[in-house]
Amino acid sequence: LLHYDSSRPFERCYDLLDVVGQGSFGAVYRAKCTSTGELRAVKVMKMSKVRKDFSAVATEIEAMLRLSHPNVVRFHEFFEREGSICVVMGLCSGHFGQLIR
């Protein structure tokens, strides 16, 4: 099962910089880790949309927790924030459209 540590507020850990993509549950942002300065991707999903299919979101997060492979985006952590779930992942350069051309 997923475990969430509420003692670390998202706002103290990451600064959202700009939107890099949109999806059915929300948006993906480029973000800066406040402690290391590393750039990461943060998928911000609105709870109102997640509730409709929470099991799919939980399954995605649990799968990312278990995966460790050079060709898979690394999962870092997740937060609950202002009616949203924030999933923090490694940031990839470029976009899928460029990759398949």
> How many CB atoms lie under 10 A from the CB of residue 75?
19
Q: Which residues pair with 65 in a beta bridge?
A: none
CA 55 → CA 2, 59, 69, distances in Å? 11, 6, 24
10-41 burial code (b ≥16 CB/10 A, e <16): beebbeeeeeeeeeebbbbbbbeeeeeeeebb
To the question of whether residue 52 is assigned a binding role by annotation, the answer is: no
Binding residues for ATP: 43
Annotated binding site: 43
